[in-house]
């Protein structure tokens, strides 16, 4: 699971609630503290990097 070291951590609207708690990886860092991330199922989104949380050791 080292390929997906982050968990999406925001759920303050309907779309973000569907992404909440899913593992992801950062593909690119963008301007204004945003990033392109990819989830385990291949879905890609542009999100705020503030919404990403490191996975704790399991």
**Structure-model confidence comparison of residues 56 and 47, the more confident one:** 47
Cα(58)–Cα(48) distance, integer angstroms: 25
Q: What pLDDT does residue 33 have?
A: 98
Render pLDDT for 10-39 as a digit per residue (tens, 0 to 9). Answer: 999 999 999 999 999 999 999 999 999 999
Q: Which two tokens stand for residue 46?
A: 């542009």
- pLDDT score of 57: 77
Q: Identify the domain containing residue 44 by its residue range.
A: 6-54
Domain annotation covers residue 34 = yes
The confidence score (pLDDT) of residue 1 equals: 56
With respect to residue 30, please indicate whether it lies within any of the assigned structural domains. yes
pLDDT of 58 reads 64
Cβ neighbours for 28, distance < 8 A, ≥ 6 positions apart? 35, 36
Q: Please tell me the predicted confidence (pLDDT) of residue 55.
A: 95
Q: Dihedral angle at the C-alpha atoms of 11, 14, 33, 8, nearest 10 degrees?
A: 40
Residue 1 lies in a domain: no
Helix (H) or strand (E) holding 53: strand 52-54
């Amino acid at each position: 699971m080292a390929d997906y070291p982050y968990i999406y951590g925001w759920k303050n609207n309907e779309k973000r609630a569907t992404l909440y708690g899913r593992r992801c990886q950062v593909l690119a860092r963008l301007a204004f503290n945003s990033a392109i991330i990819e989830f385990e199922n291949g879905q890609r989104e542009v999100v705020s990097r503030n919404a990403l949380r490191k996975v704790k050791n399991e």
